[in-house]
Amino acid sequence: MNEISIPKEQKRRLLVTILAGHGLKHMFNAAFFILLPGIKEGLSLTNSQIGFMSSTRQFAGGIANIPAGYVGDKYPQKVALILSLTIIILGIFAFFLGISNTFFIALIFSGLFSVVISFYHPAAIASLSRNFADRRGFAVSLHGTGGSIGETAAPILVGALLKYTPLIWSSILQISIIPAIVFGILMYFLLKNIPQQQTSENLTFTKFVSGVGGLFKNKKLLIVLLIAAGFAGGQGTMLTFLPIYMDENLGFSPFRYGVYITLANVGGIISQPIMGHLSDKYNRKLILAPSLTILGMSYICLLTSNIVLFTIVIIIMGIFLFPMMAILVVSATDLVDSNIQGTTVALVFAAVTIFSSFIPSLAGILADTDIRYAFMLASGVGVFAGLIAFLGNWTVSKPID
């Protein structure tokens, strides 16, 4: 690996730009879930179809992580191009999702939407991991904070657009192409002159696949992947059916359930860098194990008719929901060499999306009987991930450089 020490100003610009891009990416992601009740009504879908759509998105994104990890490690010097194109193409697929008029077409473009999202994380997190090796947990958690800001802004923004303007779910998706193209171009020019480490000049796809196979021999990494899959199964189910539950069971308006999703994200913005710092200073397990357990228990506690209690649980859920993925990712990158950071990030997200993709579909089938069953399933999967984190031997005393 060719070590490159970049100036502090460029490091700050790298961090802030990647953080902002992650925020915009998550605005698109969060907007999708807030628009789901409208998509369901507009296309006359069942809960089973909504669950299948969510599972398809997760599975497609999981498969896409394999080439995304290869691209991230093969072309670290192209991070500006990779990230900017990701944002632009994301806006294009959102536009086509907005003009979909059947379940099948919406399924295709929601899947492609998830595919392109997958190309952001490996390149972005690998770049941060290499350039902030001594504060990896904090840097990646700040990156996650950018995502939480996007997840916070989108629900209330989209909810307000749905309530106070003539816009409907389809038109919101269509006009989102404009900020995606503008920011994608801006992002490219902000990052293009920042040098990156040349870590994998001779990396062929065959070597990449062999390297992925080698990672599966790392028993500690396998435990982290299992924890991540359990976490994502519960998370994906909740993000899919919580807006529908608030819409159909609690009678909330789009703006009101957007406010509640925003409340959940506010807690994550504050807790994410704190948990990342603590995981650097002390131990990843000390943060992950109790947090995942509390998170899983919070899902089932949302099934209350007391709005005050519901609000409190939403905030608690958000405190633990959004920092977890960043800490899971750095837990995995702790266990591998720096020249396969992108591959490892991709593998974590692949495990998260592929192995947990069936959970929302199963939850959708259960929800057609009673939506509360979906919450119970999410809770059980989440608590399981916490137990594995408690019982498994997966941490290292010092990250591998």
Q: How confident is the model at residue 188 (pLDDT cuts 50, 70, 90)?
A: very high
The predicted structure's pLDDT at residue 102? 93
* Both structure tokens of 146: 């950018």
Instruction: Report how far residue 145's alpha carbon sits from residue 340's, in angstroms, rounded to the nearest whole number.
Output: 24
Percent of the chain whose predicted confidence (pLDDT) is above 70: 91
Helix 219-248 vs helix 371-391: crossing angle, to nearest 10: 160
Which of 22-26, 84-88, 199-203, 296-300 has the weakest average pLDDT? Answer: 199-203
The predicted structure's pLDDT at residue 1? 47
Distances (CA, A) of 321 to 119, 151, 290, 303: 22, 12, 12, 17
Which of 125, 122, 147, 123 has its CA nearest to residue 136?
125
Mean pLDDT for the chain overall: 85
The predicted structure's pLDDT at residue 313? 95
- Residue located via tokens 């392109």: 116
Distances (CA, A) of 232 to 58, 81, 113: 10, 28, 18
Q: How confident is the model at residue 46 (pLDDT cuts 50, 70, 90)?
A: very high
The angle formed by the CA atoms of residues 55, 57 and 63, to the nearest 5 degrees, is 100
The predicted structure's pLDDT at residue 232? 87
Q: At residue 201, does pLDDT exceed 60?
A: no
Strand partners, 22: none
Q: How confident is the model at residue 293 (pLDDT cuts 50, 70, 90)?
A: very high
Which of 82, 122, 62 has its CA nearest to residue 343?
122
For 152, other C-beta atoms within 10 Å of its C-beta total 25
Which of 174-183, 277-286, 378-387 has the weakest average pLDDT? Answer: 277-286
User: Residue 213 in contact with residue 361, Cβ under 8 Å?
Assistant: no
The predicted structure's pLDDT at residue 253? 87
| Share of the chain residues as helix, strand and coil, in percent rounded to the nearest 5 | 80, 0, 20
What global pTM score does this model have?
A: 0.70
Mean pLDDT across the stretch 223-237? 89
Mean pLDDT across the stretch 282-299? 91
HEC sequence for 161-212:
HHHHCCCCHHHHHHHCHHHHHHHHHHHHHHHCCCCCCECCCCCCHHHHHHHH
Instruction: Report how far residue 351's alpha carbon sits from residue 222's, in angstroms, rounded to the nearest whole number.
Output: 10
* Both structure tokens of 339: 């020249």
Higher pLDDT, 318 or 348: 318
Q: At residue 4, does pLDDT exceed 70?
A: no
What is the per-residue DSSP string for 273-291?
HHHHHHHHHT-HHHHHHHH
Instruction: Report how far residue 13's alpha carbon sits from residue 10's, in angstroms, rounded to the nearest whole number.
Output: 5
pLDDT per residue over 25-43, tens digit each?
989 988 988 898 899 999 9
The predicted structure's pLDDT at residue 43? 93
Q: At residue 145, does pLDDT exceed 90?
A: no
* Both structure tokens of 195: 């040098």
Instruction: Report how far residue 296's alpha carbon sits from residue 313's, in angstroms, rounded to the nearest whole number.
Output: 11
Q: How confident is the model at residue 392 (pLDDT cuts 50, 70, 90)?
A: confident
Q: List, in order of start, the domains of the chain with CATH numbers.
A: 8-197+204-391 (1.20.1250.20)
Higher pLDDT, 143 or 354: 143
Mean pLDDT across the stretch 276-299? 89
| C-alpha neighbours within 13 Å on the C-beta side of residue 193 | 7
Which of 9, 24, 72, 10 has its CA nearest to residue 186?
24
For 198, other C-beta atoms within 10 Å of its C-beta total 14
Instruction: Report how far residue 353's alpha carbon sits from residue 364's, in angstroms, rounded to the nearest whole number.
Output: 17
The predicted structure's pLDDT at residue 44? 93
The predicted structure's pLDDT at residue 274? 87
Q: How confident is the model at residue 125 (pLDDT cuts 50, 70, 90)?
A: confident
User: Residue 237 in contact with residue 344, Cβ under 8 Å?
Assistant: no
Can you tell me whether residue 252 is helix, strand or coil?
A: coil
